[in-house]
Every structure is written in C-alpha cells, then in structure tokens.
C-alpha cells in the first residue's frame, strides 16, 4: 500500500512505522492525539476509486492525515461498496491498533454511511456497525464520520 501526506509527499516507510513516528513526534511536542480512520469511494464510469485516510487530531491544535488511494474496475452495488469501504478502514485500523493501545491513543473507525433510512447507504448501516464494533473499535457514522465523509471524500481524485 502506498501512502502519502496531504501535501502529496510520499511516505516511504511502512505505514506502521510512519504512524509510530508521528505518534512519538506529537507526544514529544506535548500534543494529545486522537486518530480517526475512514474510507470513501467514488464511481467514475467503469472505475471505483477508494481513498482511505488516517486522520490525526491534535487536541486543540488542528491535525494532519495520511492518505492511500486505490482503484478497481469491479462493479459494486451501493451496499457492497459501503461494506468494502468499511473493510478497507478496518484493515488499516487492525494493522495499527496495537500501536494505539501501546501509546494510549484513542481511535475511531468512521463509516461514510447515513444514519437516516432515507438514504441508500443506510442499507449497510447494521452490517457496518456490527463489523466495526465486533472488531472492538469505536464506530461513527454520518454526520459524525468526518474522516470518511469529509477527509477521505476530498481525496478521491
């Protein structure tokens, strides 16, 4: 997986090491961190582009994020696409969760799924919530799921 910073700079380290370095750097600067992981996707013609973000929030001091993009030509139903987004976020959260425990950093997984039954994405809400909570992660859906619905959404080119 290729990751980059918001400014476009490529992250050459494995993501585990890059995240650990960021946590150590922020702790040394006296910042308390919270991490939110989310994925969004956009369908463009025959391609679906996914953007997964790791958002680092500095309590009272803004934040920064790491971004990963990938594309596929697989055609998804809306429910399937929502669950693939959640699976991509969980994959990253699972890879990094020991780090967050070790350094006592709160982490949430954000799903770009609407809590209102008036929206098509709501069809995937129960499964997504069960998947995330079942993995032991804190869960947020729209409108609180800013990592997926705002940050990742802006990273789909």
Distance CA 13, CA 29 (A): 21
Return d(Cα 66, Cα 13) in angstroms, integer: 12
Cα angle at 41 between 97 and 23, to 5 degrees? 30
Q: What is the pLDDT along the chain (157 residues), one digit of tens a residue?
A: 899 999 999 999 999 999 999 999 999 999 999 999 999 999 999 999 999 999 999 999 999 999 999 999 999 999 999 999 999 999 999 999 999 999 999 999 999 998 888 888 888 899 999 999 999 999 999 989 999 989 888 888 6
Rounded to two decimals, the pTM is: 0.94
Q: Give the Å distances, CA to CA, from 82 to 60, 70, 149.
A: 31, 15, 12
Peptide bond into 143 cis (omega under 30): yes
Query: 100 with 28: CB under 8 angstroms?
Result: no
Q: Could you list the residue range(s) of the whole structural domain that residue 95 is in?
A: 3-155
- Total domain count for the chain? 1
């Amino acid at each position: 997986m290729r990751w980059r910073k918001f400014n476009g700079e490529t992250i050459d380290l494995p993501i585990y090491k890059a995240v650990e370095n960021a946590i150590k750097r922020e702790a040394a600067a006296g910042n308390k961190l919270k991490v939110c992981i989310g994925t969004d996707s956009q369908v463009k013609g025959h391609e679906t582009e996914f953007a997964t973000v790791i958002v680092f929030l500095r309590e009272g001091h803004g934040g920064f994020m790491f971004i990963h993009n990938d594309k596929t030509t697989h055609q998804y139903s809306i429910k399937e696409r929502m669950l693939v987004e959640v699976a991509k976020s969980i994959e990253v959260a699972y890879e990094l969760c020991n780090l967050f425990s070790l350094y006592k950093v709160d982490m949430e997984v954000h799903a770009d799924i609407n809590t209102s039954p008036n929206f098509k994405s709501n069809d995937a809400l129960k499964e997504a919530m069960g998947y995330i909570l079942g993995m032991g992660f804190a869960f947020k859906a729209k409108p609180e799921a800013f990592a997926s619905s705002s940050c990742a959404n802006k990273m789909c080119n």
